[in-house]
Amino acid sequence: MIACPGCGANLLFDIASQQMKCSYCESSYDPYQFDSMQKDASREKVYDAWIYSCPSCGARLMTTDETDAEAFCPYCGGASILFDRLRKVKYPSWIIPFQVDKDCCRREYSKAARRAFFTPARYKKAEMIDGFRAIYMPFWSYAVEQKGRAKVDVESKTSRDGDYLITDQYTVEGDVDVSYDGWTHDASKAFDDEISECLAPFNTEGRKPFTPGYLSGFYVDVADERANKYADDAKRYFENLTAEKLLESDEVNRAAKENEAHTIGITGVSIPTKVTKTEQVLYPVWFMSYREGDRITYATVNGQTGKVVADFPISPWRFLAAALLTALAVFAVLSLFFTLKPESTLLLTSLLLIIGVLMCRKQSKQLSERYNDEETARRRAAYVNSQKIAIVLTVVALIVSGVVLLTHPVYNAVFYGVCIAEAIILFVLIRQAFLLQMQLATRKPPQFNKKGGEDHA
């Protein structure tokens, strides 16, 4: 706790003025004014932090003021977080102080929630939006140096020679001498990697040297990932970045023209890359969780830019209402402007069924790209299996449609019977896709101190 020099009350960091402000006498102070560590460069800089842990999920949070502890866990919605210990915590190198205050955070979230048409109204209510907590998230920031001969293996477009496909292969080379910094990865096990990647970018121009004053009135998540854990990811990122720049460079383009090489794909990168510095930085995040039964949803707002990344659950009733309204509109348009013959109807429903199958397959593929955790893989596998039956039924329906169209059976009922069967198969497909989407829009409550736990942490 930092006491007000004027009245002794607690000073809190005020986002609007970017100063320490006394809530009692309203005096303002520079956050660095109270940092005795800044003056003594010889000692390792540490500050006192009260560590709280959630007995339910194992998440850990810190505050610089022991009275700051809230009664519930922001990660799992658990009823309490318990004081664990007082600890000396090493200063992070930098901090980006909160620029977005709670009102602005609420506004940005409400705006995003309004666009989420299928999300139940309770997720948009004011009392829920009040649940946002300001948390500084720890990140590891990496700087790398690349010096030496960069080699990038590339392929040109494929041509045909009789029964063979020929692909020209090249190596693009160049001497490089460059330093990068600013690639970050969140350092908290509790903070979902995907959310942190989507919340980015944080503008590093707004970063400030750390002082504990910035933490007054806020939570800090504990950095429990090792500093070198993401070093290889950082190297890979910068290698690819340099490789792309090398391919775009004028020298390489000139040389490629001379060799008539039309490079289209990178197959290998070899660039001497060394991580020169790893620093801990704190980034501001507004965080909210909402637990319903055995599922939980997270909503986050970038505390610097106001960017919203949130789970928006989907209501089946809203889905049904939207589907029926859309169907009514389409029905009205069709009734006004078209009279479909049975053959055309059958062709159209068959086409729609094919498009529906392709849509569901694309969704399944996108999910596998987005989530690579075990739980989602298991769910997706179950979904793909259940889809197989629907796809077999689709193929049967399409074959029957083909037979019906070729043989022109005598009764309308045959045409419309197949059309209705196709509509039912499409409904089954869409039901499966929707259920999967509905489950993935929420998460299992996290278990940071046990194996298993949340779906896509």
Partner 1 sequence: MPENALFRKIGASLLLAVLLLSLLPAVSFAAAKDDPYAAMPSFGILTDTGLEWRNADTGFRVVILDEIDLLTPLEERQLLGDMQPLTEYGNAAFWSTREYSSDEIEQARLKRRDLFELESGTILVVNMEIRRVTIQSYGDMYDVLTVQRANSITNNVRNSLTRGEYYTAAQKAFQQMNSLLRGNRIAQPMKHLSNACVALMVGLMLTLARVFRQSSTFRKADETQVIGATALAFAAAGVVSRGQRREYDPPSSDSGSSCSSCGGSSCSSCGGGGSSSF
Positions in 103-162 near partner 1 (CB under 8 A) = 112, 115-119, 150, 153, 155, 160-161
Nearer to partner 1, 52 or 238 (CB): 238
CA distance 167 to 384: 34
**For partner 1, what does the binding mask look like between residues 254 and 283, x meaning CB under 8 A?**
-xx-xx-x-x--------------------
* 353 belongs to the binding site for partner 1 (CB under 8 A): yes
Nearer to partner 1, 55 or 268 (CB): 268
* 227 belongs to the binding site for partner 1 (CB under 8 A): no
- Alpha carbon 160 to its chain centroid, in Å, reads 41
* 171 belongs to the binding site for partner 1 (CB under 8 A): yes
Closest contact distance (angstroms) between CB of 253 and partner 1 is 9
Q: Which of the 8 DSSP states describes residue 24?
A: T
Structure token digits, residue 281: 């930085």
Task: Name the segment binding partner 1 (CB under 8 A); options: 21-29, 84-92, 103-111, 166-174.
Answer: 166-174
Helix 412-440 crosses helix 316-337 at what angle (to 10 degrees)?
150
Closest contact distance (angstroms) between CB of 311 and partner 1 is 9
Identity of the residue numbered 436: L
Please report the DSSP string for 50-85 in residue order. EEEE-TTT--EEEESSGGG--SS-TTT--S--EEEE
Cβ-based neighbour number of residue 392 at 10 Å: 11
CA distance 3 to 142: 35
CA distance 215 to 211: 8
Nearer to partner 1, 33 or 99 (CB): 99
Q: Which residues on neighbouring strands pair with residue 147, listed in sequence order?
A: 177
Residue from 120, 131, 174, 453 in contact with partner 1 (CB under 8 A): 174
Contact (Cβ atoms closer than 8 angstroms) between residue 300 and residue 101? no
In the window 188-207, what residues touch partner 1 (CB under 8 A)?
A: 194-195, 197-198, 200-204
Angle at 343 between CA 424 and CA 433, to 5 degrees: 25
* 179 belongs to the binding site for partner 1 (CB under 8 A): yes
In the window 13-52, what residues touch partner 1 (CB under 8 A)?
A: none
Closest contact distance (angstroms) between CB of 80 and partner 1 is 29
Nearer to partner 1, 29 or 319 (CB): 319
* 289 belongs to the binding site for partner 1 (CB under 8 A): no
Nearer to partner 1, 90 or 378 (CB): 378
* 316 belongs to the binding site for partner 1 (CB under 8 A): yes
Angle at 224 between CA 31 and CA 66, to 5 degrees: 45
Residue from 74, 342, 445, 446 in contact with partner 1 (CB under 8 A): 342
CB burial class (10 A; 0-12, 13-18, 19+) of residue 60? buried
Helix (H) or strand (E) holding 257: helix 250-258
Structure token digits, residue 37: 């560590």
Number of chain residues interacting with partner 1 (CB under 8 A): 115
Residue from 356, 397, 448, 455 in contact with partner 1 (CB under 8 A): 356
* 242 belongs to the binding site for partner 1 (CB under 8 A): yes
In the window 380-399, what residues touch partner 1 (CB under 8 A)?
A: none
